Amino acid sequence: MHPDLPSPAISKKTLWTGRILTTLPALLLVFSAVMKLVKPPGMAGAFTHLGVPLSQATGLGILELACTVVYLVPRTSILGAILLTGYLGGATATTVRVGDHFVMTVILGVLLWGGLYLREPRLRALIPLRR
């Protein structure tokens, strides 16, 4: 889509549904990032279970928070979704490797792309869904 052309109209209902679907995974990701930065009791056990040294928590928290911020900024939201897809892919691979359930990371990915698709005309123009 050319930047000078007007964006296709999005209904208020679609826009608000997209915003809600964007907010849910964003809140979970911010919470997860803050927990990695704060390192509450029990965090060491969770990291040990996953086979990741606790010394990596701060870096992972900063990365997760940075990707989420990039996702929430409208101008960079598509890049943020791509970055978060990579981050969640790593989280999924880590949980699969230790035999844990990985459904939550997949659901987060679907919600963040679904919310972005509903609120972002550039993405809708790039990936048109037909009835």
Q: What is the pLDDT of residues 94-111, one digit of tens each?
A: 999 999 988 999 999 999
Q: Quote the mean pLDDT of the chain.
A: 91
Helix (H) or strand (E) holding 85: helix 77-97
How much is the pLDDT for 99?
92
Give the whole-angstrom CA distance, residue 106 versus residue 104. 5
Residue 24 φ then ψ, to 5°: -60, -55
Q: Give the orientation angle of helix 57-72 with respect to helix 12-38, to 10 degrees.
A: 160
Give the whole-angstrom CA distance, residue 89 versus residue 121. 25
Residue 125 binned pLDDT confidence (cut-offs 50, 70, 90): confident
Q: And the tokens for 72?
A: 């929430």
With beta carbons less than 8 A apart as the criterion, state whether 67 and 80 touch: yes
Q: What is the pLDDT of residues 53-87, one digit of tens each?
A: 999 999 999 999 999 999 999 999 999 999 999 99
Q: Phi/psi zone of residue 10: left (φ > 0), alpha (ψ -120 to 50 degrees), beta?
A: beta
The SS3 assignment for 9 reads: coil
Residue 10 binned pLDDT confidence (cut-offs 50, 70, 90): confident
With beta carbons less than 8 A apart as the criterion, state whether 22 and 119 touch: yes
With beta carbons less than 8 A apart as the criterion, state whether 63 and 87 touch: yes
